[in-house]
Chain A
Amino acid sequence: KQEVTQIPAALSVPEGENLVLNCSFTDSAIYNLQWFRQDPGKGLTSLLLIQSSQREQTSGRLNASLDKSSGRSTLYIAASQPGDSATYLCAVKGGGADGLTFGKGTHLIIQP
């Protein structure tokens, strides 16, 4: 059974810092990996999707990498802003039509 772990569970940093969120998964036979953002009391917003054949994806200040063989992904946030405060979720999709397997998230606070 696929398991997804996110480290750290919580992180608080001053505004302007670059930071890295980590995600690991136990079964490397994934189809893709997705990073989401969740604000309190809200739904999930997709940030980046990396296909299993890709090594990284970029969107603005966000960069996600994937090392499928080692079962790891990182989300790099450059020049953090208070508006980046949220819970960040990593999720993997296995083969076939199954849904996503989620990690428990990293709760991020950016201090003004």
Chain B
Amino acid sequence: NAGVTQTPKFRVLKTGQSMTLLCAQDMNHEYMYWYRQDPGMGLRLIHYSVGEGTTAKGEVPDGYNVSRLKKQNFLLGLESAAPSQTSVYFCASSFSRGGLTDTQYFGPGTRLTVL
């Protein structure tokens, strides 16, 4: 049981380049989330999904797109990277059926630098 995994762990992009971050979970969780963590800002929700084939916007969705084609995977895309998207990106998942199933499990993060 690997939990939540993220690929890649590190990446350096040039302004205008595109990339996709992959999140995978093997816990059969319905809900998946993408957050970014910046110094002095805390973690902020980018997008989330409540099940296969669904996505919704979070607090800071601009410049990002997401897809949930399979229940176990949640992809975060940057179409045209900007220096303001330099951050650490975390994926999380949960059952979210009430009570302790709401506990979110986080991946190890992807450190992205945009030059």
Contact at A99–B103, with CB atoms within 8 Å?
Answer: no
Contact at A97–B58, with CB atoms within 8 Å?
Answer: no
Residue count of chain B within 8 Å CB distance of chain A: 28
Residue of chain A at shortest CB distance from B107: A43
A97 touches which one: B31, B41, B100, B106 (CB < 8 A)? B31
A45, A98, A105 — most chain B CB neighbours (10 Å): A98
Interface residues of A in 66-80 (CB under 8 A from B): none
Contact at B43–A97, with CB atoms within 8 Å?
Answer: no
A97 to B58, CA, bound (A): 10
Known contacts A97-B48, A98-B58: does B42 contact A46 (CB below 8 Å)?
no
Chain A residue contacts of B104, Cβ below 8 A: 34, 44, 46, 99-100
A97 to B54, CA, bound (A): 12
Interface magnitude class on chain A: 20 to 34
Contact at B48–A99, with CB atoms within 8 Å?
Answer: yes
Indicate whether A25 reaches chain B with its CB closer than 8 angstroms.
no
Chain A residue contacts of B48, Cβ below 8 A: 97-99
Binding site for A on B (CB under 8 A): 4, 31, 33, 35, 40-45, 48, 50, 56, 58-59, 90, 92, 96, 99-100, 102-109
The 6 closest A-B pairs by CB, nearest first: A99-B45, A44-B106, A43-B106, A102-B43, A104-B42, A43-B108
